[in-house]
Each structure stands twice: as C-alpha cells, then as structure tokens.
Amino acid sequence: MARQLFGTDGVRGQANEHPMTADMALRLGQAAGQYFRRTGDHGHRVVIGKDTRRSGYMLENAMTAGFTSVGMDVFLLGPVPTPAVGLLARSMRADLGVMISASHNPYQDNGIKFFGPDGFKLSDDTEEAIEALVENGVPLAEARGIGKATRIDDGRYRYMEFAKTTFPRGQRLDGLKVVVDCANGAAYRTAPEVLWELGAEVVPLAVSPNGYNINDKCGSTRPETAMEAVCAHGADLGICLDGDADRVVIIDEAGVLADGDQFMGLIADRWAAADRLAHGTLVATVMSNLGLERHLADRGLKLLRTAVGDRYVVEAMREGGYNLGGEQSGHVVMTDHVTTGDGLIAALQFLSAMVETGKPASELARVFTAYPQKLTNIRYQRGTTPLEAASVISAIHAGEEKLRGRGRLVIRKSGTEPLVRIMGECEDPVLLDAVLGDIASEVTRFA
C-alpha cells in the first residue's frame, strides 16, 4: 500500500486539521506502539520531544494517551532539538522516539517524526506498516497493562553534553563572538548555552518562544535579522537554526549567507584531507549546486545524489557506508556523531575549522563558485495534479532540451506542502530565467 499519511519527513499538516488532529495523533501513537511492541518481551518505552508550537501540547498529550493505551511507557522530554530525540531514543534503550515539530514551517503547522530504536528515522516499509495499523485499528492493553508517562527534566542537558563531545578536545571558542538565531524554537536554550560553555561570546536571537513566533521572521529560512546583527555586533560568525534545530545556515563576518552546499564542501575537503571522509564520497540531494559536484570531482571526490529529504540522504549513507551528507537547505548529517541532521553540531564543526585554521568565516564559507541557481515555489490547489498535466510536461521537456549540456532542472512536489518546486541551474542566467518562466506559467494555471 502507498503511504498516505507520511510524507518525506513524517506526518505533517496544519494543526487541528487532518492529519494533525488530536484524534489522529492518538491513533498514530497506538499504531506505532503496537508495531514496536511486537519485538521482544521487555518493557516497552517511547521518548517524545517537541518544539515550541502551542499545538505541541495537544499532540503530545494525545500521543501519550495513544502509546500508554497499548501498553507503552512514555518519557516526555519537553522542548528539545530533533537530533536529541534520535540520540536519547538510542541511549535510553527506547523502542522508538517521536519528535513533534513542523521544522521550518510557521506555527500554524505541526508534524510528527518517528525514530527507531537505533536513532534513525523509519523506513518507508515501516511507515506503511504503521499506516495500515492506523487504518485497521489495534487492540488495547488490559487495565493492568496500561503504560505510564514520566517527564524527563534533564533531556536537553544530556543532549548538550553530547554535543560538546563532538567539538575537539582542547579547543575553545575564546575570543570569538557568535550570533546565534534559534528561531524561537527547540534550541532556544541549548544552542546559546553550549556555545557559551565552550568559551564564545554569544549574541542570542529569537530565544523567547511564545507558542506562535517559531520561525517568524527568524531562523534559517529568514536570516535577515541575524545577518544585520552580525554586522551590528561585529561578530565573527552567525548561526541560524530552524524551528527544530536539525538544519543550519552560516553567516560570515560581513553578514553574507552561506548555504548547506558550501558548508558540506568545507567539511568534505577537511575530512578528505584527514582521511576521514568514508569512500571519498559526500551524499547530497538533487537540489545541491552543480558547482559543488564539480568542486568535489576536481579533488577526486564523489557527490552521490538522492531524492530530496534528509531521510533519503541518511538511507543512502547507511547503505553505502558513507559518513557525511546533507542538503543545500542546511541539513548536515555526520553519522560519526549523530543519526540525523543536527544544526548545532554542524555549526561546531565550522567553528572548529575557524579555531584550527585561524581563517575568518568569509574565507572558509566560500569553497566553490556556485552555478546560477533559481528556485521558484508555486502553490497549487489541493486535489489537483499539476505535474501530470500535458501542458506542464511539455514545458518541462522543452526546458530540458534548451538546457541540455549547459544546466539542469529539478521539478518536484513538496513532500510537506501543496507546492511545486521548480529549480534550475545554468551558466547563462538569462536562458535560465526564460526556461523557468515558461514552466512556471504552466504550473500557475493550477494555483
């Protein structure tokens, strides 16, 4: 059966509308609990984290009811970054972990992400099996077998201590001034405190969540305020996280933004020089810039591309034994340390490079010359299928012919919103604009 509830990153939608209702959260808890209770006769447990959205309380309580009703014990972490859930699911010997978050989306949205006992996100097959249980229902535990819920007060501290272990022993951040934008999200305490404990002078931004201001004019998708703050404070570096802190973008001392591609290029170069880059390969998605691919090739390294979504990057990394991957949007996955994207730990790697080399962020964040790349998002009416329309297909084919040998197109539906994402790269920006304009005009008919 094809997945209906799960998208590219769990289940996501607008709060209090299908599928992000309390009823569905309860049923997902029951279904996931039943699925993971099938393994072994030990006491079964799940850890649940969340970001700072108001709707997180509703979904957390509903999922707790679902899990306990099928006999699972629940450990509630409160607001923690997404990677903390993967880490603690594994370290606490839980059967699974749950993160309640819609990542970089506005507060009106929310989502549910599942992690297995190994700390990695679930496979498509497992998600399909859980969906089947949601549809068919599951038996409830007898009264004696109902699970219990316990709040874990030190979850974020456990994660913070682990994050610091990924920073080289003996190095400190003394003398560096760092702006950190926490998007009024899950890392509003953890990121500033870790940077301060390592010796940095910290300028915190967006660290006053109120349930409604997550990602609101802040964070990795809206870095303008942080860019201004870096210049205003004379900071050496700016770090912008998203709402659940699994992605990061970097701002240099001049207030110029560097995306995940430049970041991954830097780490790949450094790890390859230290003979740490497994199989000489970086794993990224079809969205990563062609300039990154050619930069790696010039150094005898390989870029392995996957479908969009950090879970697909991680699946390819695990299958091929690679240890570095990510997305242009700022998900950076280093499986030597973590099981999913981790914005804070990735930022610590960049800071380590600054400390070790003595070079400014502007030099380290310009690894390759990017090809002109343009991304257009077009919202379409729910229930329509623009990418199946003959006129859209024809426009795409015509564009591919015009770009043949000079660039490329990546056109896809968003896995989390009713959007068509149209991305193109070409050495000739005028030609690129013309091609993308023709395709966008056809897709817009479905808006």
Domains of the chain with CATH codes = 11-153 (3.40.120.10), 156-370 (3.40.120.10), 373-446 (3.30.310.50)
Buried b (16+ CB within 10 A) or exposed e, 144-158: eeebebeebeebbeb
Q: Note the pLDDT of residue 42.
A: 67
Integer-rounded Cα radius of gyration of the chain: 22
Could you give the 3-state DSSP secondary structure of residue 306? Answer: strand
- Residue 307: what residue type? A
- Say whether 103 is catalytic: yes
Adjacent-strand bridge partners of 100: 50, 112
Q: Report how far apart, in Å, the C-alpha atoms of 79 and of each of 48, 49, 311, 404 are.
A: 9, 6, 22, 47
Could you give the 3-state DSSP secondary structure of residue 238? Answer: strand
Do you find a cis peptide bond into 19, omega within 30 degrees of 0?
yes
- Under a CB-based contact definition with an 8 Å cutoff, are residues 357 and 343 in contact? no
Sign of CA dihedral 166, 168, 172, 176: negative
Instruction: Give the Cα-Cα-Cα angle 352, 354, 359 (nearest 5 degrees).
Output: 160
Q: Which of 101, 103, 220, 329 is catalytic?
A: 103
Q: Which residues of the chain have pLDDT under 70?
A: 1-2, 39-42, 416
Q: Note the pLDDT of residue 2.
A: 60
Q: Note the pLDDT of residue 41.
A: 65
- How far is Cα 233 from Cα 214, in angstroms, rounded to an integer? 23
What letter would DSSP give residue 123? P
At how many degrees (to 10) do helices 55-69 and 22-36 cross?
40
Q: Note the pLDDT of residue 227.
A: 98
Residue 248: other Cβ atoms inside 10 A: 32
Q: Note the pLDDT of residue 8.
A: 79
Six-digit token pair at 300? 């005898």
Q: Note the pLDDT of residue 187.
A: 98
- How far is Cα 231 from Cα 19, in angstroms, rounded to an integer? 42
Spell out the residues 6+ positions from residue 25 whose beta carbon is closer than 8 angstroms to its own: 58, 59, 62, 63, 66, 112
Six-digit token pair at 346? 């990735």
Residue tagged 């940095």 (tokens): 200
Q: Report how far apart, in Å, the C-alpha atoms of 194 and of each of 157, 181, 188, 199 are.
A: 10, 14, 11, 9
- Does pTM surpass 0.75? yes
Q: Report how far apart, in Å, the C-alpha atoms of 233 and of each of 180, 244, 318, 422 are.
A: 12, 26, 41, 37
- Under a CB-based contact definition with an 8 Å cutoff, are residues 186 and 51 in contact? yes
- Under a CB-based contact definition with an 8 Å cutoff, are residues 30 and 156 in contact? no
